[in-house]
């Protein structure tokens, strides 16, 4: 199966502060840098919304006059998904007008050839068509915001799992996950084992199934103060003829040779855990990371930049930042990976790459004087 490798370009017209913008992106690392209120978060929002575009506009409140996103797949296929609105009137999410579905025109091209779409096509049906007819998988971008998720069951608070037994067999089915956003995938092995195995489960056998991916543990140990993670051994197991319930499931963290709960971690360590886990665990080929420097010590941030650079070998990572230190992970011959955001009342939010003259000037400085971050601080590139 051919999977999307990265987003090549994205064009947006009339979305919030963006009036008319086209941005070229590279595989691997891309850095979006600019002042407050220049449109960095809005750029990420536009990628999210364009990736989820739906022909039934009233269902998601399509807020562009037009948009276009181009993907490059692992097999070098070029996929372009475009949408335009027939009406200039503003759409609202709570509209119930049945004609709203006719306000959008969706078009998709694979290698510059149009793909026939059904009249009521949406992104889900488009994905099915592309997968069935062309064996191409399009994954949505993963957006890692600077705020931690509000729902951290199994992490900040204990969570519960409940399984119901099928009357026609001895296996469990109808898996119920209670409030588990971040930790859902962490207990996937447990779900599969309990559903497929007919043997009697005990507290000891369940504890042995509560394991983390080794790569997550290794990356946490390498790039954060967290030397190890585990589910607390203090779980409770309740069994009835047709039910199995596991309570008091939560993660413990080993820091400075001591196991401790989430509440004992510093804010910076919490953010490091969230950032590293989300990137390592995500199956998306494109990751959007909002201001990874926030709340992290400068020395620790250097390690996080090394982590992001390592992850970018297999994923496209787009970082928004205020920190010039972030730029130091870009090699001198790849400064086209830097995108400067700027807001002007006439042109709205705009995004541009460095010019050839600016790249030459930056390269001269880094070769003769110091780091790119130092040059950036003393330049007028963001003015």
Residue among 307, 179, 154, 160 at smallest CA distance from 230: 154
Residue 169, pLDDT above cutoff 70: no
As a whole number, mean pLDDT of residues 325-329 equals 95
Per the structure block, which two tokens stand in for 247? 């309570």
Q: Which residue has the higher pLDDT, 132 or 321?
A: 321
pLDDT of amino acid 178? 38
pLDDT of amino acid 171? 43
Q: Which residue has the higher pLDDT, 370 or 381?
A: 370
pLDDT of amino acid 301? 93
Q: How confident is the model at residue 202 (pLDDT cuts 50, 70, 90)?
A: confident
C-alpha span between 171 and 75 (Å, rounded): 41
Angle between helices 298-311 and 267-281 (to 10 degrees): 0
Residue 94, pLDDT above cutoff 60: no
Residue 98, pLDDT above cutoff 60: no
Q: How confident is the model at residue 176 (pLDDT cuts 50, 70, 90)?
A: very low
pLDDT of amino acid 195? 64
Locate the DSSP E strands across 2-158: 2-15, 18-24, 29-34, 66-73, 78-85, 104-110, 113-114, 136-137, 142-144
Residue 15, pLDDT above cutoff 60: yes
Residue among 327, 305, 302, 321 at smallest CA distance from 379: 327
Per the structure block, which two tokens stand in for 251? 């993660």
Q: How confident is the model at residue 383 (pLDDT cuts 50, 70, 90)?
A: low
Residue 222, pLDDT above cutoff 60: yes
Per the structure block, which two tokens stand in for 157? 């608070």
pLDDT of amino acid 191? 66
pLDDT of amino acid 162? 78
C-alpha span between 146 and 304 (Å, rounded): 14
As a whole number, mean pLDDT of residues 185-196 equals 63
Residue 99, pLDDT above cutoff 60: no
C-alpha span between 347 and 343 (Å, rounded): 7
Residue among 62, 61, 109 at smallest CA distance from 81: 109
C-alpha span between 81 and 212 (Å, rounded): 37
- In percent, the amount of the chain with pLDDT more than 70 equals 80
As a whole number, mean pLDDT of residues 134-140 equals 80
> Could you identify the residue written with the tokens 């930790």?
183
Q: What is the pLDDT of residues 20-73, one digit of tens each?
A: 999 999 999 999 999 999 999 999 999 988 887 654 444 445 678 889 999 999
- Sketch out the chain's domains with CATH numbers: 2-141+284-378 (3.40.50.300), 159-270 (no CATH)
Residue 207, pLDDT above cutoff 60: yes
Q: Which residue has the higher pLDDT, 317 or 99?
A: 317
Specify whether the CB–CB gap between 41 and 349 falls below 8 A.
no
Residue 150, pLDDT above cutoff 50: yes
Q: How confident is the model at residue 92 (pLDDT cuts 50, 70, 90)?
A: very low
> Which residues in 333-364 are b (16+ Cβ under 10 Å) and which e?
eebebbbbbbbeeeebbbbebbeeebbeebee
Compute the mean pLDDT over every residue in the chain, rounded to the nearest whole number. 83
Q: What is the pLDDT of residues 231-260, one digit of tens each?
A: 898 989 888 777 778 888 889 999 999 999
Q: What is the pLDDT of residues 255-300, one digit of tens each?
A: 999 999 999 999 999 999 999 999 998 889 999 999 999 989 888 8
Which of 117-126, 269-278, 326-335, 369-378 comes out lowest in average pLDDT?
Answer: 117-126
Which of 53-62, 357-366, 368-377 comes out lowest in average pLDDT?
Answer: 53-62
C-beta atoms surrounding 216 within 10 Å:
18
pLDDT of amino acid 198? 44
pLDDT of amino acid 134? 78
3-state helix, strand, coil in the chain (%, to 5): 35, 30, 35
Which of 106-110, 347-351, 356-360 comes out lowest in average pLDDT?
Answer: 106-110
122: DSSP letter: B
C-alpha span between 228 and 257 (Å, rounded): 9
pLDDT of amino acid 63? 76
C-alpha span between 46 and 9 (Å, rounded): 12
pLDDT of amino acid 120? 62
Please list, in sequence order, all residues whose beta carbon lies within 8 angstroms of the beta carbon of residue 311, skipping any fewer than 6 positions away. 279, 280, 287, 317
């Amino acid at each position: 199966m051919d999977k999307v490798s990265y987003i090549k370009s994205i064009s947006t017209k009339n979305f919030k502060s963006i009036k008319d913008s086209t941005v070229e992106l590279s595989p691997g690392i891309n850095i979006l840098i600019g002042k407050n209120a220049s449109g960095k978060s809005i750029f990420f929002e536009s990628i999210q919304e364009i990736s989820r575009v739906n022909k039934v506009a009233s269902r998601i409140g399509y807020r562009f006059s037009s948009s276009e996103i181009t993907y490059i797949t692992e097999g070098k296929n070029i996929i372009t998904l475009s949408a335009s609105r027939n009406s200039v009137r503003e759409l609202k999410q709570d509209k119930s007008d049945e004609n709203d579905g006719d306000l959008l025109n969706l078009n998709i091209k694979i290698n510059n050839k149009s793909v026939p779409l059904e009249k009521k096509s949406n992104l889900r049906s488009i994905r099915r068509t592309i997968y069935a007819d062309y064996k191409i998988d399009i994954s949505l971008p993963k957006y890692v915001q600077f705020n931690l998720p509000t729902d951290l069951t199994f992490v900040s608070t204990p969570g519960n799992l409940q399984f119901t037994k099928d009357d026609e067999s001895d296996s469990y089915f109808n898996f119920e996950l209670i409030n588990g956003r971040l930790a859902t995938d962490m207990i996937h092995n447990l779900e599969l084992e309990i559903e497929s195995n007919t043997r009697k489960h005990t507290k000891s056998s369940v504890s042995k199934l509560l394991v983390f991916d080794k790569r997550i543990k290794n990356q946490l140990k390498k790039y954060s103060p967290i030397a190890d993670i585990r589910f607390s051994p203090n779980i409770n197991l309740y069994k009835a003829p047709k039910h199995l319930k596991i309570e008091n499931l939560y993660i413990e963290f080993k820091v400075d040779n001591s196991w401790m709960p989430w509440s004992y971690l510093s804010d910076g360590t919490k953010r490091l855990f969230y950032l590293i886990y989300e990137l390592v665990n995500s199956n998306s080929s494109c990751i959007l990371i909002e201001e990874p420097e926030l709340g992290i010590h400068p020395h620790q941030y250097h390690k996080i930049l090394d982590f992001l650079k390592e992850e970018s070998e297999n994923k496209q990572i787009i970082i928004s930042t205020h920190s010039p230190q972030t730029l130091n992970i870009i090699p001198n011959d790849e400064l086209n990976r830097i995108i400067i955001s700027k807001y002007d009342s006439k042109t709205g939010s705009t995004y541009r790459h460095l010019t050839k003259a600016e790249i030459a000037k930056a390269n001269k400085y880094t070769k003769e004087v110091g780091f790119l971050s130092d040059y950036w601080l003393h330049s007028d590139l963001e003015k």
